[in-house]
Structures are given as structure tokens and as C-alpha cells.
Structure 1
Amino acid sequence: MQSFQLVNVHPIPALHARLEQYVEPMTGARHVHLASDQQEMAFLVGFPTVPQASDGRAHILEHLTLCGSEKYPVADPFFAMMRRSTATFMNAMTYADRTIYPFASTDITDFFNLLDVYLDATFFPKLDYLSFRQEGWRHVLKEGRLRYQGVVFNEMKGAFDNPMRALYRGIAANLLPATTYQYDSGGDPLIIPELTHEMLVEFHATHYSPSQAMFMTAGRVDAAAIQSRIVDRVLSRRQERLAPRMPELATPWTQPRETEVRIPSQQTSDNEFGMQLAWRFGESNDATAAARLQLLERGLLGDASAPVLKAMQGAGFGRPSALNGVDDSTRHLMLHLGMAGLTAPQMETAQTVVLEALQAAAEGVPAEVLRAALRDMRFSQRQIVGGGTPDGLARLIRAVPALMNGGDVVSAFDNEQILGRLEQEIAEPAFFSNMVGTLLEHPTRLLARVIPDADYAAKRERVELDRLAMQEARLTEQDRQRILDEDEALSMHRLKGSDYSALPCIRPGDVGTEPSPLPAIRELAPQVRLFEAATNGICYATLVRDLGAIAPDDWPWLDLYADVVEDLGVGTLSYEEASRWRKQQVPAFSVTLDTLQPTGQSSVMPQLKTHVAILEEEQSHAVAVLRAWMSPRFDELDRIAFLVKSQAERILNDLADSGGFYAQLSATAPCSPRRSFSHLTRGLPSLPFTASLRKMSGSPEGRQEIARQLERLHALISACPTRLIWTGAGDLASAAAPSLALEAGSPPAMAPTQTLQGGPAANAALRVASQVNHCHIAWPAPRLGHADAAALAVAAELLTHRSLHRRLREEGGAYGGSAAYSGEDGLFTMNSYRDPRVAGTYADFALSLEELVHTEHDVSAMDEAIISVIKRLDKPLPPRDAALTADRLDQLGIDTTLRREHRRQVLSCTPAQVRDAASRWLSIGRSSRAASVTQADQPLDGMVVVEVASLAR
């Protein structure tokens, strides 16, 4: 059989990388390889998946491919490899028109181990019936009543709680009719039970062919070695060549259309309506057209002075929609412009506001706005991303649509040629005006009136229960017995266990004993630190203020300050002028609030961090921006009122989707000072304050009081100690260091930190209008450096992989469940996510702990748990994150010696140490519990019901 043939090589100097494209001539399988010296090696295989129903077949198939294959006929090879591998990333993702299976690892042996598992899983899955019933859907008899169960079924019930998801799906279904985008590829829980096992098997046969496959890799691994493995494992056995499969294109319209989209509502207030305009354009694989549309978006929405954003923010009602902007996730390019936070009568007025702003924008925007936008696009290509997905893998994922839809793959990785062309185009004065004119005249435009529905979840629940009641009425005794027999077979299937010896693994002896290196600290000037790193020509500056002098009574205001200060005017510049000036100076700017808990103390140090990122050739601009935002304006009361009201309404209108977050903070706050700070500032105690802010923002007196409090707080912040952290190329940063001291002089003495008492353990059931539950339980635990720290870290992995996965997901039907130990927070937790149960889950938490303490774990279980801890310790960080982590550990007194000793203790951890540590720290009687729950009348294991919506009034 022939091997892959090289068809194109493209060097990318900005990334220190080389893009190679290959094709296998017999099947047409494609391989794209981004060769670089990045530590993490990445792989994904993707398939076009274009369902014509909302029964979740693409999503459920994604789950089933991970439930055993020909070569690895175990129940859960994917989850088994998560604990047998040093992978820094493992996942599978279903989009509206594609499914991808990505992983990344820093170890070459582990990389090829995972490659074998992924190839066999995707091309030769077992797809057995019982796994379909577990992962997809099935009938169960719960206390004698007919009910649905299934991992994907429950996952999607949780997904349907998200208002933004409902809005996007509603618009896509109407803007892209008669295409795969009309359907919900994740699956609508009301339609998922229509899917049969036979339909799913047929979908795999028609969509997971080598001729449809997209193989993509990145990093310091040889493309030929990967191709040899693909040929040997897959193409030598499957050589069919199917016609290319792509998502359909929608038919052009001759005139705009209108629709209504209903979204879930928690507050039932009169200002939860919205108006959304959406345009559909040509194919998203046209990289130049996509770049032009991004320029249009930035000209319309890029900063507070941009015409459409300015009009929406200055309308005197509502706020810009979170959906606004370019959408290139489908085969068509789309643009969204809309407003949220409206009353019903304001929907028509909001449409007028946006359309009139577009008419004004047709006069053009300043040339420097478009030049800054091009600079930002160049910055985005260079930036090494974080956020949990390795940089190389993130670039592969972004390029999948171009490869799938026949676009220019090179442009997905290297847009320099396109940017050069656009630099010439924007020199034409009419460039932007012409784009706006085309937008105004474009017939394929949808007006969506967004209608809040407080009964959204309840109505769906009633439809489900009514269907079940009709089915139950028709059940015969034989039907009931079949359901019981199937449930018993599934239980036996889970309990019989699997022989994992066929699966490859990495053992503790295969990993190094030294901790992963962090950037070295160089003191360039008083309170200025340099962390040298390869950043693809980007420099990062973070200004840190230690806020130990800020009293706890001011912490809610401190959180508000961090949320709004970056959008205020500065010095003599109004907020519009400041926003435009900053956008021209730097591509990235943000303000965040963090906390530090000094080692050996039950106290926290709040920290305000101002982050700037800039191309290194313009690094002096970073200094100017940081200096400017030392003098924010608090006299623009209407601006402050708008920002405060918008932030408050976003929080209060998103209670259902945030229920799990509030439950997590409620459970952990009594156990950890850092979590207690987050609970006070962003958890349940903050909701009355947020509601009061929304009310205050509506009156002149309230606005003045908000501004007064923020200005008072700013004076306190300005007197706090200041440090600057600089990440980038050493020579350039060393030259800039003196100016980066920001003329602050010597900082004042460190102010005392604030002690937070643990408080009583929580025992709360937080009721929100949701369709699924989220359960959390927590304990205070020793911090890093304690003799039990390593054993508790291993215990968390044993619980996750050996007990909670089986009890909560496979048997309980939750989307997921895990345990975690945080050495920095001094915290041990267990949780479930998108869970149909509450009391049963807490019973399983207790059983899992009992099993942990009384089980003699074998060598294999311990090895897997140890490897799982090590890979978390070794996960590479993007440059700025690595620098901030190094600085943070230095402040905490966690040096290389301590990290080395902790690693040694993890690698040598014994079952007895795990049992002893768990017995000392993880007593159910000392736990703190909180859950986000759907109904107060379900079994809650004695937890006290709290109506979350009542706190927000």
C-alpha cells in the first residue's frame, strides 16, 4: 500500500514552525502536520458529522467510540488511558458539523500509546448495545415509575439550561434552514429517545471512513512516524473511498426574515427580552472574506467609541448582547448584532438603534481603528494560548473547518499574506463604508426577537413526563421485565470488570524525579521582575497590587472595581476616548482580582492584577497604558451606571446556569480562606449586593453613591504595594525595565492580610430553575509541604478513577464526577456534574470514601493514581502563565526543594499512606456540602433548601 505523499510545505517564521500537508492517494485521507519544537506533541482525528435530526447521534457516537474497540475491548479505554498516561490533554468534541478526537502529551512513548488507542477507538469501535444504553439513553423504573436515564441525555438536559445556547441554537436553526445546522448535534433530550442503536451504528459506517478522516498533528514528532502508524493500524484494513462529505450550504434569501426565540429565564423580570440581528454570508473557508468580516466587526464593535457599540451602550436601556460578533463556526460566515436586557416594547426600538448606528457607520471609521484591528489579528496568530488546551492543539482545532470544507489550510495557521493584502485595502478611504453598505443591503438577514420564558425548564419537564406517562400506560408486564433485565445486564456489564493489560501505560519509574522547570526570576529594578521566555515576539506586563489593607467590608466593592475599571475613562480622556486610545496602543488589556494565602497563615491577601500584552516591537505602549489606568475617572456617572447595571443583570439573569458554581463556593468556603473570599465576593452572599447595585444604578443618588465608593476604594488601592512582572525576550525587557518601574518608588511596608474564619460547614440545597443537579462536598486539608499532601493528591485520583466514575457516571447517570486536592487552597473536594440525583450521589460519596479507606489498592491502581498526579504537576504552561506561577510560588515560599520533595513523596506513595491520610482528613461527619438542585421535593439527604432567586431580589 502507498504511504502519504507530501503536497505542500509552508514555513511560518512567526511561530518558529513549518506546516506540512500530506494526502494518502488510495483513500484520500489527509494529514496536516505543524512541525515545531514545542514541548507538547498534539494529535487529532476529525470527521465531518452532519446529522439530519436532533436525536444526538453524532454526540452519542462520540461517547460510544470511547467505550471499547477491537484491539482494546475494555469497557472504557478512554477513561482508563486518562489514568495510565501522562497526557496533558485528552478529550472528544462534537460540534454542529464535525467531531474531533484530540490529545497531547510531552512524552514520545506516551504519544504513540495514545495514538494507537485513538485510532482503534475511532475506526474500529465496538459500539455495543449496552454501552449505547449507558451513554445515550434508556428506560429505567425509578420507584416503579418509568423514567429516562443516560449520560448524554442528562448532559444535554443541563446544556438546555443555558440561555445563550438556546439563543444561538434558535438563530442557527432559522438562519441556516434545511442544513445540518437546523438540528441540535448535541441532542435535544425530548428527541434523543427516538435514536436507536441501529441508527447509531449506521451513522458511524457512513461518517467515520478513512476517506473522510482529517489527521492533524503538531510538535516535535516526525510526520512519517505518525503516518506509518496510521497506515499500519487503519489504512491497511480500511481502503474504501467514499464521496467527500461536507455540511450543506443554505439557500440565499431574497429579503430579510423574522422569528422569535425563547430562552430559559430565572428572574421572570420584565427586562429579560432581547433583539438580535444576524446576517449569513458566504463560506467560512474563504479566509480573506473571514478576515474582512473581522475588520468590519472591529470597526463596528471594537471599542467604546465604535459606532454600533457606542449606540448600544448609550441607548439609555439594555446592553450589548454577549452573542455579538463574527461567527465562523459553521460552513457559512455569520455576523451577530443585538441587545439584551430589554423590556418587550424596547425590542423594536433596539432594532432601530442598531440599524441607525449602521447607517452612521457607513460614513466610515478612522484609519487607525482598522490598523489597530490588523495589529490585533497579527497578535492573535502569534500568541501562545493557555486555557487548558495546548497551543499546538488549539491551532489544529481552529484549522479543522478549513480542512473539512476545502479551504486554504495554510491561512488557518499563517494569515500574514492576507493581512498584507488587507493593509493595502484599508488604505482605500471607501473600504469600510463599502462593507457597511453591503451589510445594510444584504437580504439574508434575520431579526430574532428574544423572549424570556420562566417556565422553560418546567415545560420541557412536563413534556418529558407526559410522554413517559403515555408510554408507561402501554407497558405490559413483559415490557417491565425487559427494562429490569436490561438494567440488570447493564449492572453486570459494569461489575464484571475489564482486563486492562492490553492497554499501554506509563509507570512511575518512567517519569523523571525532577519537577518541571519554571522561568527563572531576574530582578531588573525595585519591584520589577523579568521572566525570560520564548513568546513568538509578544511581551506581557502584569502590574500587581497587594491589597491587604482593604477591609473585608470593602471586598464586594473591590470585586465591582475589578469588573468595571478597565472600561472607564482615564485622566482627561472620556471613556470613549480612552477605549479607542487603548485599543490603538495594545491588543490585550484586562483587570483581574486574585488572592494569595501566605504559607502557614489562615489569612488571605487580595491582589489586583492589571495585564497588558503587546507585540515586542511596540512594548513601550504597555508602559503608557499601565500608567494611564492608574488614574481612572469616576465622574462619568452614566457610564458607571451602565457598566454596573449590565454586570448585575448578567449575573442575576444567569442564576440557573451558574447554580453549580454557587454550590461549589458554598461547599468549599468554610474549608478554605481563599474559597471563602471568592464566596463572599462572587458566591451566594454577593447576590443581595448585586441586586442592590442594579437598583442603585437606576437613580441619580444611587449612581453618585456607587461612584463615591469606587473613588474611595481607588484611593486605598493606590496606596497599596505595587510590583510589575514582565515576560518576554530578555534583551528587550532588560532595556525597558527602568521605565517599567512606573515611577512608583519604594512600596510601602506590606499591610497585614485579612484573616477569614472557616465558619460552620455548609449543608445547603440551592434550588434554581434547572433540569439537572450539581453536587459538591468539601473538607479542609493540609497545604503543600505537609506530610499528608502527597497521599491526599493520590487519594483524589484513586477516588476519581476507581470509584466515582463508576458510581456517578456509569451507574448514576451523571455527566461526570471527580475528586480533587488543592495544596494551595488546603482543600479536598468531590463533586458531580449534570446529575439526575442528589441523595444518591452523597451516599456514593460516602461509599467511595469508605472503599478508599478499607481497600488494599493493588500496584496497578496506585501506579495509575500516581501518574495522574504527576501529569498535573508537569503540564506545561504558556509563557505568561508560567511567569505568574513562578512569581506566585516564590511569594508563597514554595521553592524547587519543596516541589522536588513533594514529587518524591507522590512517586513513593503507598496504599497505607493513602488510607491513613484519608482517615485523618476525610470524615463524612466533618464535611461541608452544597448542591444546586432542580426540585426541593426530591430526596436531598437532609440538606436545607435555599431559594437562590429570592437572594437576588
Structure 2
Amino acid sequence: MTSFEHISSHPIPDLRAQLEQYLDPASGARHVHLASDQDEFAFLVGFPTVPQASDGRAHILEHLALCGSERFPVADPFFAMLRRSTATFMNAMTYPDRTVYPFASTDRTDFFNLLDVYLDATFFPKLDYLSFRQEGWRHSFKDDRLVRQGVVLNEMKGAFGDPLSILYSGLNKALFPGTSYAENYGGDPLVIPELSHEMLLEFHASHYHPSQAMFMSAGRIEAKEIQAKLVERVLSRRTGRCPARRPELAADWIAPRRAQVRVPSAQARPDEHGLQLSWRFGESTDPLATARLRLLSHGLLGDASAPVMKAMQSAGFGRPSQMNFVDSGLRQLVLHIGMEGLTETQVERAKSCIEHALEDAATDGVPVDVLKTALRDMRFAKREIQGDTIPDALRRLLDAVPLLMNGGDVATAFDIEPVLQQLGKEIEDPAFFKHAVRELINHPNLLATHVIADADFATLREAQEAKALALKERELNDDERRQIGAEEAALAEHRKARSNIDVLPCVQPSELRREPIALPEIQHQHSSISVVGGATNGITYATTLFDLSTAPKDDWPWLSLYADIVPDLGTGSLGFEEAGRWRQRQVSSFSMTLDTLVEAGRTSLTPQLNVHASALTEDEAGIPSAIAAWTLVPRFDELDRISFLTKARVARKVNGLAAAAGQYASLAAAAPYSIRRQFAHRVHGLASLPFVAALGKMLESPEGVQAIADHLKRIHQLLLEVPNRVIWVGLNGSSLEASKALDLRPSRAGRLGASDAISRAHEVANVALRVASQVNHCHIAWAAPSVEHPDAAPLAVAAELLTHLALHRKLREEGGAYGGWASYSAEDGLFTMSSFRDPRLAGTYADFAGSVREIQDAYFSQQTLEEAIISVIKRLDKPLAPYTLASAADRSERRGVTKEMRRAFRQQVLACTLMQVKEALARWLPPQAASRAAAVGNANQDLCGMAVIEVADLVN
């Protein structure tokens, strides 16, 4: 029996779905259901969370809600369900104004199991004191010195090392004074200790009430079945209403304002200043206003010929910032336009540059074709099925949450066709765009922010924390010291306590399919073209792959530079501005990427340059011409353009050292044992930084720029000579003639080669990469077999056992890291363990070793083993977006991974025994063979004998 009343139904033809909306009159709870034939069942419950302080209460509550509940009094039901469920997605997310708890599963029974767990976790959590101290913050003593610990605390210390995160928070603070947006919603580590357990309990009581709740679901299921559960589990028990909560609206300004935001930097060089112009508008619940702002942004910034983008790129100083976008995720719309790479004296010049470009746009406008292209791309974005990270239906629900929360028409989040039709009429007026720009120029709610790179950012924060801790330690009396010790001891016992996870629902291995998921059939038109049909929602995708196995090792970094900047050059007789505008008319998406392929069981590698383009199926005829233009005749005589693009790439690499350090460490640890990771290490990782430094030197002279152009030209000549092939993915019956037009050089096509230029190194890594950070990222790696080896399945199961039974407890619960996990990759030939945003280093590496011994020595029940098996299988069965699935089918074929091999691996996983796991670990993970690399903020800590590398020195 359900108490929900049906409010409305709205067909969504593009998604082959129907949007249904319901309301529970008693509580005011809302349920939005997207009825469709998609394979996945999706659900989320969301709450407005509008904290009035930067103490991280919403973020910490998100963590704490998943630490046990009334019906499921398990220490970690969320992490336990990760291994007892076939969920394709499970998470919880805190935003500046809301918290959501989403999940998805392809199994109906599993869906309702997870629904029970999520509803109990959010509405009836335990929120016990010790979990608050573990997940939030606590005092403890380390080497007789008072310190602060906590999972969220350490997570946010890592976040405060990210310049973009700090800039975004700083801009919101200045744009929305007096509102919850002015607070750091994740929590400022210096303020988090102001939050008490009592304050957290009150926040849950006032914010996590059914009257505030937003229930959303999708899939082949009737809404009333979900509503029956909502009534039984929640609405029948928590009655009444709480006052509706929404983020506050910021008061209008009578004139533009100025601000400064300091962001972390490794070196704070003279040219690391920035300028951000941010316009604050009305409510984002207005779909027409949102679409108009996106249209305006596209007209001003959409390509190199757009007036503001052109002005910023041709200014002769600086470059467009990484924050040029429309932010529609808050209650009020914001347009960000900015420049970076400025000296302090250039900041005002940058502001004038943008303002003059706006004046010109208000006078001259832009061609109507530019605006029509923007509308087409909005249609493309709504139609495209994504889902490789978050399932497509769940992604659409998440996008709709702000509209539902703020009282907008939720249907407009799924169906924007009426809005696009309206805008299509409006842009026929030649004055439309000019008028929109003039309104922008005259808008009083404008914030001009001077972004200042601060090399002392992390050091000053560490000093503030140290000062506060020293003061606190001096003030502690004996009873308070004993209390801290007692709480730490109680927390240790709390972690050791065995929860009865049998109260949680669990899928059984016997309920899982024996056969692997079906990959789409590939039609080989001839030797160089593969066509894959699929339900792509009216979008066609094409990729031309160039076999670069003959490329010398020294050219690999140049291949990466080529992929990054060639799409932004001119082509044929067209300069880069005209070429960019022409390509936008042809396709909705275009890119180049560098990839590698390793055949199963082989120790040789094939680098590939992939040129991608996609368009609405009705526009697919433009795909071949777009790909051909940049693969056959790119312009290498545009030296100023090459210089500008290369400088931007070098600067972002240098400025992003701290943010990328964890990835650098991961690649450094893996490179000795994996030829794919070794390639990535040399092209994108630590080993690429000397190349970045060399590019910086070359950019200092016209001769150096010419040398860069000559290198790129040489890479292009190689592309003209190597085999290439095409993958064409579209609706069944999609034009094969269009795909044949991509047959650039059929006579040269052939089987992909295999480069023997690199092989597994013999010397393992043992390095600590020092960057400006308050936390560490630790990685360790061993060589592992490929998928056809009998130890492949046991190692895959071992990774899940290590993650869920040992590393989560040791690294997160006890060590305070944000995360810790193990992973087996058959394609990479690699077994790894890692920690993320970790306050420890020596302790973590000891725990890596201890975890392996624990799995090898301990006895585990059949249930525990089966949970690990379920975790492996659900990774294999994760639904993929149509293009990704087609690419996976092609990749498997090219690697020589047959359906029989995939079936054998799956069945070996299902039949895996604990003895096989222990024997595989003993064979493949000997301690002396471990390769180690960590990103560290403090080189004075115990580094376990690792050699220190100053990362910043590699780019100077």
C-alpha cells in the first residue's frame, strides 16, 4: 500500500522513457521515477544540506550515515555491501548544497536489498560517537605529540592542495556572501575540529527528514513497488514535517565587486597570477535562462574564433583559464570567464582584454550558424548515453536533483527539446546575441577576482594547525590527556569488534551467470573498417586508429604533444580559427588520444594514436571529412599557434605537479613490471617531466618553436606511412557509405604491429616523490600474469580479499587514509596496492606487507571467499555505454582475448578456492620483488629507505 499520489507523467522520446512524478501528501516527500527499458535499476535519495559553517558537517554526516544503522548495526554496511552485492554503482556524494546517496544494479533482488540498506542508513543511522571520531576528527598522541586524525580531515587536507578546488571555493565565498555557499562544504581542516558530535546529531535531525527527502529512481520497474518500500521503511515511522530547506539566494549588488583568492602553488612563479570574472544570475530552475546562458557562453568561448576566446588566446600574454564555464549546479546560475599564466601587472590588462572583446561582441554579434551549432550540441549532450563511470540513468537523476530540490520543473532536466525549439526561434533575430552580451556587460552582479599563487599556502596552513595544536596541548590537564588516550583505546577496540554482517542481504555466486556478458558483433567491411551496430540513441561514433609500433622510443613524448595540440591547429588552407568553426559545423565532438595495446600473453606493446569524432546520426556525413582534415593536412606553419598551445600545456603540467603527484607515483611503481604503465610513465608520468622542461627551453626562441613544429611535422609524416583502421559505431542500418569514406589508405591497412622497444625492467622502483602537500599517496606493485594464466582468477579474487578484509581496515579505519585498495589488471600484467590522501607512509607500507601475510596465513570462511568472487564478477558485468562496449569488443579482438578465454576466466573465478588464492599470492607477491613509489609532502618522515626526488626540480 502506498500513500504517494501521482502528480504528472511526461514522455521523453529521445530516451525512450517516461518521467513520472509523485508526492506523499502527509510528509511532502517527492518521488521522481524514470520508467525505461534500460538494463540497470537506479535509485537515489537526496537531502538539501545547507551548513552555515566550514566545519564539514554535511560531509562528515555523509560518511557517518554509512557506518551502521538501526536494522543493520554493522560497523561498515556500505563497504560490506560492496562485496555482498552485484551493484554496478554505490556511493554517497556531498555537494555545496545537497547530499545524495545513489546506487544502481542490474539485478532486481539486489536492487531491493540495497534499497533497504540505503533507506535505513540515511533515515535511521547509528551516528555513534566513536564513528564520528574515526570518520570526522579526533585528537590523538603521536610520539608524545598532540595531533589530529580523521578520514574526512585527511581527505580535505588533500583537497586543499588542489588549486582549482580552492579557487572554486574562494569564488563562491565572494559571490555568495551570507549564504551557505560561502562556506567550504567539504570542510576546512582548520575549522573541522570546531564540529562536535552533538552538532552533527542535530544536523541530521533537521536535514535528513522525509519532508526534505528527494527519492528518485529509474529502470524497468513500477514506481509503486519502490513506494511501498518507502512507506514501509520510512514514511510510516518518521512522520510530520520540517520547514523546507533551500540554499539562500544572494542579495543583488548595485555595482561589480573585486576579490582576491590565494591558491596553492609549488613555486609561485611571477607568471602564475590569474583573473576570473564571475557573473551571478537568477535561479537555475529556469530552463530557458539556463539554456540562454549556455548559448551565450558558447558564442563567446566555444572555439578559437569565438570573440572572447580569440581575444584571450591572441592577447600576447597569459592564456584562457581552466574555469571558463557555466555553473548550473547551484541555486543561482554563474558564468565564469578568466585568464591564467599572468604576471601581476598583466591582471588588469587581462580584464581590459575580456571587456573589450565583450564590447566587440555586443556590437558585431556572431554568425547565426554558431548559435545553431550550439543548440545542436545541447541536443547531442542530452541524447548521448554515457555511463562508464556513473550509470547513464543515475547520471541523469543526479543532474535533476538541483531542480527538484529548488522547486523547478524536473522534466526539463530530461527533455530540453521544447527549450531548444524556443531558442531556435529566438536566434533568428540578429539582435538576440548582441542584446545578451550587452546585458552581460551591464550586469551589476559581477565579481572580478585576482587569483594569487601562493608557494607558502600549505606551509602556512600547517603552521596554523601546529600553533592550534600546541596551544591545545598546553591547555590539556591530566584528565583530558587520559580521556584522549581512553578514546583512542576505545576506538581501537571498536574497530576490532566483529560485526555480524549476516544481517545484511547477500547475493550468492550460484545466482550469477556462468557466461560472460555478450560483446557486440563486429562487421568487418574489409581489412581496415569495423562497423558495430548498437542502440546509441541516435548518435554515431567513429575512431581512426594509427598503428605507431614503429615509432622510436624517443618520439613517444612527441606523440603525446601531437595528440594534445594538433586538434587546435588549422588544416589545409584554413587557419586555426576558421578550421575550428568549420569542424564545429561538421561534428559535435572531436579529439585525439594516445593509447597502447598489448596482446594477451605477449610482452610487446603497440602505441596507437586514436582520432575520435561523433555526431548526431542525421549529421554523420560530416564525420569523415572532420577526421580526414586533421589526419591528412594539419597546419604546422602556424608557429605562433604552436607556441601558444605548447606553452599552455607546459604551464599546466608545471602548475599541476602536486595534484598529479599521486598518479606519478602510481606509474613509477608500476613501470618496472608493466609495459603499458612504462609507456604511460614515460609519456604522462614522472619520466615525462624532463621533456616538459626541454619544451619550456625550446619555447624561449623562434628557432626552438620552429624545432617543435618540425618534430610534429615528422610525427605527422609517420602517421601517413603507418597502418590505420576505423571503428564505426552507430544505429543498426547506419550509413556504411559514410564509414567507407574514412578508408584513408586501405592499401596500407593491416594487422597492428607490436613494438619491442620496451620490455619489463629488471630494477624495481623505490622512490619518494616530494611535492607540496599535507598527505601522502602510497603505491606498491608486482608483476602479474595475463588473463589466460591459471593464476589470473585467484589474483583477481585476492585483490578483493585484500581490499575489503585488510586494507580498508588498516589504512582507512586505523590509519586515517581516505582510501586503500588492491587491484589486479590482466591487460597491464600487474598487481598493485595503493593508498590515497594518507597521513602515514612507513605504517602504510608495513600494512601492505602485513595484509598479504594476513590473507596467506588466516582462515576465511566460504562466505568471505564468495563475497570476493561476487566483487570480481560484478566488475566483469558492469554495463557500458554503447560506444565503450563496441570499443571493448574491438579491443578484445585485437588483443586476441576470445570469448572462450573470457568464459574460462569467469568460470575460474566462480570456482576459485582459498588455497588457490594463497598459492597465487605466494608465487606472485614476494616481498623482495615489490616496486614502491609514493608522493609525499614531508621528506623528513620515515620514508622506509626510499630515495627522495624533488618533483619540481625535474621541470626547471
TM-score greater than 0.5 by the shorter chain: yes
Residue identity in the other structure for 2:369: E
Conserved 8 A contact 2:46-2:101: yes
Cα deviation, 1:858-881, whole Å, max 9, x if unaligned, reads 111101100000000000110111
Identify which of 814, 818, 823 aligns with 2:821: 818
Aligned partner of 2:473 in structure 1 is: 472
1:770 lines up with 2:782 in the alignment:
no
Aligned partner of 1:190 in structure 2 is: 190
Alpha-carbon offset, residue 268 of structure 1: 2.6
Partner Cα distance (1:288, 1:243) in 2: 29
Aligned partner of 2:577 in structure 1 is: 576
Aligned partner of 1:736 in structure 2 is: 738
Q: How does 1:399-798 map to 2 (within 5 A)?
A: 399-630=400-631, 631-742=633-744, 744-747=746-749, 750-759=752-761, 760-798=763-801
SS at match of 1:262: strand
Q: How does 1:82-97 map to 2 (within 5 A)?
A: 82-97=82-97
Conserved 8 A contact 2:822-2:834: yes
Q: How does 1:13-28 map to 2 (within 5 A)?
A: 13-28=13-28
Alpha-carbon offset, residue 599 of structure 1: 2.4
Aligned partner of 2:949 in structure 1 is: 946
Alpha-carbon offset, residue 117 of structure 1: 0.1
Partner Cα distance (1:601, 1:501) in 2: 43
Aligned partner of 2:343 in structure 1 is: 343
Alpha-carbon offset, residue 746 of structure 1: 4.2
Aligned partner of 1:809 in structure 2 is: 812
Alpha-carbon offset, residue 738 of structure 1: 2.9
SS at match of 1:732: coil
SS at match of 1:167: helix
Partner Cα distance (2:21, 2:735) in 1: 37
SS at match of 2:658: coil
1:872 lines up with 2:875 in the alignment:
yes
Query: Comparing 175-184 with 735-744, which one deviates more in the overlay?
Result: 735-744
Residue identity in the other structure for 2:480: D
Aligned partner of 2:905 in structure 1 is: 902
Alpha-carbon offset, residue 924 of structure 1: 1.5
Cα deviation, 1:494-549, whole Å, max 9, x if unaligned, reads 10110001100111111110001111111123311111110110010011111111
SS at match of 1:657: helix
Partner Cα distance (1:171, 1:695) in 2: 34
Alignment RMSD = 1.0
Alpha-carbon offset, residue 220 of structure 1: 1.3
Conserved 8 A contact 1:256-1:446: yes
Cα deviation, 1:741-773, whole Å, max 9, x if unaligned, reads 235444267545134132210000100001110
Residue identity in the other structure for 2:559: L
TM-score, scaled to structure 1: 0.99
Aligned partner of 2:43 in structure 1 is: 43
Aligned partner of 2:932 in structure 1 is: 929
SS at match of 1:268: coil
Query: Comparing 191-200 with 584-593, which one deviates more in the overlay?
Result: 584-593
Residue identity in the other structure for 1:775: C
Q: How does 1:139-158 map to 2 (within 5 A)?
A: 139-158=139-158
Residue identity in the other structure for 2:313: Q
Residue identity in the other structure for 1:376: D
SS at match of 2:425: helix
Residue identity in the other structure for 2:332: H
Conserved 8 A contact 1:769-1:934: yes
Q: How does 1:298-447 map to 2 (within 5 A)?
A: 298-362=298-362, 363-447=364-448
Alpha-carbon offset, residue 212 of structure 1: 0.5
Partner Cα distance (2:600, 2:124) in 1: 51
Cα deviation, 1:600-625, whole Å, max 9, x if unaligned, reads 32211000101111100111000111
1:212 lines up with 2:212 in the alignment:
yes
Partner Cα distance (2:895, 2:837) in 1: 35
Query: Comparing 728-737 with 553-562, which one deviates more in the overlay?
Result: 728-737
Residue identity in the other structure for 1:675: R
Partner Cα distance (1:895, 1:914) in 2: 24
Partner Cα distance (2:784, 2:99) in 1: 40
Gaps of 5+ in 1: none
Alpha-carbon offset, residue 452 of structure 1: 0.6
Conserved 8 A contact 1:319-1:646: yes
1:837 lines up with 2:840 in the alignment:
yes
Change (3 A) 1:2 1:782: closer
Cα deviation, 1:834-892, whole Å, max 9, x if unaligned, reads 00000000000010000011112211110110000000000011011101111000011
Residue identity in the other structure for 2:785: P
Residue identity in the other structure for 1:89: F
1:847 lines up with 2:840 in the alignment:
no
Cα deviation, 1:36-58, whole Å, max 9, x if unaligned, reads 11111110000000000000000
1:240 lines up with 2:243 in the alignment:
no
Conserved 8 A contact 1:525-1:741: no
Partner Cα distance (1:797, 1:749) in 2: 36
Query: Comparing 470-479 with 820-829, which one deviates more in the overlay?
Result: 470-479
1:11 lines up with 2:11 in the alignment:
yes
Alpha-carbon offset, residue 236 of structure 1: 0.7
SS at match of 2:37: coil
Partner Cα distance (1:750, 1:490) in 2: 56
SS at match of 2:448: strand
Partner Cα distance (1:412, 1:398) in 2: 7
SS at match of 1:656: helix
Partner Cα distance (2:818, 2:552) in 1: 40
Partner Cα distance (1:317, 1:528) in 2: 44
Residue identity in the other structure for 1:782: P
SS at match of 1:370: helix
Residue identity in the other structure for 2:867: E
Partner Cα distance (2:756, 2:446) in 1: 54
Q: How does 1:872-891 map to 2 (within 5 A)?
A: 872-891=875-894
Partner Cα distance (2:410, 2:655) in 1: 40
Partner Cα distance (2:906, 2:388) in 1: 24
TM-score, scaled to structure 2: 0.99
Alpha-carbon offset, residue 734 of structure 1: 3.2
SS at match of 2:733: helix
Partner Cα distance (2:531, 2:367) in 1: 36
SS at match of 1:945: strand
Cα deviation, 1:318-355, whole Å, max 9, x if unaligned, reads 11010111111211100011100111111111111111
Query: Comparing 911-920 with 733-742, which one deviates more in the overlay?
Result: 733-742
SS at match of 1:358: helix
Aligned partner of 1:267 in structure 2 is: 267
Partner Cα distance (2:918, 2:893) in 1: 32
Cα deviation, 1:411-444, whole Å, max 9, x if unaligned, reads 0100000000000000011000000000000011
Alpha-carbon offset, residue 939 of structure 1: 1.1
SS at match of 2:735: helix
Residue identity in the other structure for 2:447: L
Partner Cα distance (1:174, 1:83) in 2: 43
Partner Cα distance (1:850, 1:749) in 2: 44
Alpha-carbon offset, residue 695 of structure 1: 2.5
Aligned partner of 2:69 in structure 1 is: 69
Change (3 A) 1:600 1:84: same
Residue identity in the other structure for 2:237: R
Alpha-carbon offset, residue 2 of structure 1: 5.5
Alpha-carbon offset, residue 70 of structure 1: 0.3
Conserved 8 A contact 1:426-1:432: yes
Partner Cα distance (2:204, 2:616) in 1: 45
Partner Cα distance (1:597, 1:269) in 2: 41
Q: Percent of pairs identical after alignment?
A: 58
Alpha-carbon offset, residue 387 of structure 1: 3.8
Conserved 8 A contact 1:813-1:835: yes
Q: How does 1:105-124 map to 2 (within 5 A)?
A: 105-124=105-124
Alpha-carbon offset, residue 733 of structure 1: 3.5
